[in-house]
Amino acid sequence: MAERSTAAVDVADNSGDEPLAAKADEATTDGTAEAQDTTGTKPQDTDGERIGSEATLPTPDLHSGHKLARRYRLEECVTRLDGFSSWRAVDEKLRRAVGVHLLPADHPRARSVLAAARSSALLGDPRFVQVLDAVEEDDLVYVVHEWLPDATELTSLLASGPMDAHDAYQLVSQVSQAMAAAHREGLAHLRLTPGAVLRSSTGQYRIRGLAVNAALRGISADSPQRADTEAIGALLYAALTQRWPYESDAYGLTGLPKGVGLIAPAQVRAGVHRGLSELAMRALANDGATASRQEQPCTTPDELAKAVAAMPRIRPPEPVFTPPPEYQRTTYQQGSYGRPQTRPVATQPTIAVPPAPLQSRTGKALKWAVSALLIAALGLGSWQLAETLLDHSKGSGPEDSTQTNPENNDNKPRPPAKPLRIDGAKEFMPSGSGIQPDEVPNSVDGDASTAWVTPRYVGYANFGNYSNRRDGSGIVVDLGSVQDVAGIEAKMYRSGQKAEVLAADPSASAPSSLSDFPQRLTELGTVGSDLKETFSKPVRTRYVLIHLTELPSDGTGGYRGGISEISVLS
């Protein structure tokens, strides 16, 4: 594999291309300017491009159904440009969808693509769409990467309108932190467009095409960190205004009016968050000309991430509750219920009253006897109650009276716990690779008959003792916002799993490693078919991790486990 440091600047053979965000409206070699999709809805792997005839180099003559390495079956071609093509494919070995980039082995950029893909695969950061394979065989070079069926492109999200301040804050925070981590490892993107940013169903942003997208198109930059920072600023600008921050239209977004130059988002659209508007200008600053007067421009993703962290945290908007409709008096059987009777009421027949019982001499005697017995019983009961109270008062001191005073009793019964709404769930992937991510919704669907189940591991209970599974696996539950968590209930797929429950800090955003879950809610231990725990004090968190470290035997020499249903209680 190529060294990571070479992929940052040597991802392309062509040189002289200007930074992407500064010249996003100009086509390089991919025909982007001629292939804008104004609808905002594109296949997942197009990166803002369409299949077209603008290719200048011959692309491999392949078709749907073709197999690579007897494993990857090509399904649909989503991009065909400049001698390479991109496909949606199926990994028949693992039975999951994947993406594949293809180009001839003698393509002038084939070596750069392989080097970029292998360097990107070494990063292993779950905030990026992972490269799964990079191979040269049969006169072809192909790169296999993850395919996220539940993710939505930023292009499609912006087609419906600008984002609110909280969503835009999450976008720039997560993307800048991810790119800062990539640049620390010597990797640049250089093709960070709205089509390269995906938002999963849990609200986590993921970046695809790290180093690879630029290598495929022959894009390079003298200052890769500055180019990626400016690209993040353009994404934030578009999220706040639904406008592209340059004069030309791009990625389904309208550009700024010609001749006005780069103006702040707050001047483009009313109601834009002032702090985010200034942050976008600091990231988009060219030689400091448009930077904020008070703050210096951000020239690296790390500087931008620190500027975002220094801002006051932007909370999500309060949910809007629709008032109930005005009460309408309903009637029963065409108005006969709830309304006064208007028709004449028939006179009820007079019923003869029978004579009062026990009016004879015998009856009167019986009444006196019963009355006497009741008076005696009441007297006896009163005497016993008084004796009990006296005995109790003799044995009680001042301390006892304090303890029995209901006003001083701290052990008041708690209200019954109720399940919190779960906004989403994802597989815990500390190594960056998943096990069964497609089955995660089964663990929070309210149906205990469905489950997220691990594959069968042989030899070792700790996930086969694989190095990429040294931190185990599990399910991360997203409550949508910070909540008071008072308990957890989880139905396990099989008894005998070693598990624990952890929680992220209230300020955490998209936690992905064990260090991101510092709050221990339960001790690590072997659990049965149910994992139930009520906490003595509620815990403030948004993300709860049901962490599995060892799996039970399946009776055939292998080990397998999973989670059937999760409930988080308040």
Task: State pLDDT tens for residues 286-330.
Answer: 554 454 456 789 999 999 999 999 998 898 887 766 667 666 655
How far apart are alpha carbons 533 and 537 in whole angstroms?
12
pLDDT at 130: 96
Cβ atoms of 541 and 482 closer than 8 Å: yes
Q: What is the per-residue burial (b if ≥16 Cβ within 10 Å, else e) of 249-261?
A: bbbbbeebeeeee
pLDDT at 289: 44
Helix orientation angle between 301-310 and 165-184, rounded to the nearest 10 degrees: 140
Instruction: State the burial class of residue 523 (Cβ atoms within 10 Å of its Cβ: 0-12, 13-18, 19+).
Output: exposed
Q: What are phi and psi of 9, to 5 degrees?
A: -120, -20
pTM of the model: 0.52
pLDDT at 3: 33
Task: Please choose, from the candidates 170, 156, 179, the residue with its C-alpha nearest in 3D space to the C-alpha of residue 478.
Answer: 170
How far apart are alpha carbons 536 and 539 in whole angstroms?
9
How many C-beta neighbours within 10 Å does residue 291 have? 18
pLDDT at 329: 57
Give the CA-trace dihedral at 300, 301, 303, 305, to 10 degrees. Answer: 170
Residue 157 CA neighbour count, 13 Å, CB half: 26
Instruction: State the burial class of residue 465 (Cβ atoms within 10 Å of its Cβ: 0-12, 13-18, 19+).
Output: exposed
Task: Please choose, from the candidates 156, 164, 212, 134, the residue with its C-alpha nearest in 3D space to the C-alpha of residue 42.
Answer: 156
The segments of the chain whose pLDDT lies below 50 read 1-44, 46, 48, 50-55, 288-289, 291-292, 332-338, 395-409
The identity of residue 341, as a single letter, is Q
Task: Please choose, from the candidates 510, 563, 521, 538, the residue with its C-alpha nearest in 3D space to the C-alpha of residue 175.
Answer: 510
How many C-beta neighbours within 10 Å does residue 147 have? 20
496-546 pLDDT, tens per residue? 999 999 999 999 888 988 989 999 999 999 999 999 999 889 999 999 999
How far apart are alpha carbons 53 and 66 in whole angstroms?
22
Strand order through the sheet with 140-146? 67-68, 72-81, 84-91, 96-104, 140-146, 131-137
The identity of residue 428, as a single letter, is F
* 3-class SS of residue 435: coil
